[in-house]
């Protein structure tokens, strides 16, 4: 009987130790789960911030894309106007290269005159007089 009581006590002690270990393991698992949930909440918050930033960046890209498209259209219109002007000058009898040289010299002369270099301005005008005369074919 003593052996039976001793076996019962040993079994009881084993059950208590196993129960304590089981509760400790369950407590560690609950703590780990709580930590994992907190980490998951931080990751979700970060993803939400990143999503907001991504949407803002996409909106900015779309806005810039629209601006680029508008600039391309404006550039196309400007190029067409330049081509039309060049064509008008060509058909009007103007030598575009001579006209460009003439206007370059006149611009330089105006720049020199603006800073008080009158003799330089007169020299610049004199150096492009031939180009200015040749700009209109036939001396016009």
The residue ranges of every structural domain in the chain are 93-140
In Å, how far from its chain's centre is CA 72? 18
CA-angle at 101, arms to 99 and 103, nearest 5°: 65
pLDDT per 10-residue tile (average), the chain, 140 residues: 70 72 83 90 92 92 89 86 75 79 92 92 92 70
Cα(30)–Cα(115) distance, rounded to whole angstroms?
A: 84
d(CA 71, CA 63): 12
pLDDT at 137: 63
The whole-number pLDDT of residue 30 equals: 87
Q: Note the helical H segments in the chain.
A: 2-91, 96-114, 118-127, 129-135
């Amino acid at each position: 009987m003593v052996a039976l009581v001793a076996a019962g006590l040993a079994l009881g002690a084993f059950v208590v130790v196993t129960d304590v270990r089981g509760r400790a393991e369950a407590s560690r698992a609950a703590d780990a789960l709580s930590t994992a949930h907190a980490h998951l909440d931080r990751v979700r918050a970060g993803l939400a911030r990143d999503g907001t930033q991504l949407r803002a960046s996409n909106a900015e890209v779309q806005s810039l894309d629209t601006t680029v498209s508008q600039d391309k259209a404006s550039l196309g219109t400007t190029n067409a106007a330049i081509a039309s002007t060049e064509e008008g000058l060509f058909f009007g009898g103007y030598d575009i290269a001579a006209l460009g040289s003439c206007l370059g010299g006149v611009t330089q002369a105006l720049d020199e005159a603006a800073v008080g270099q009158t003799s330089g301005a007169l020299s610049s005008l004199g150096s492009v007089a031939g180009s200015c005369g040749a700009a209109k074919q036939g001396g016009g």
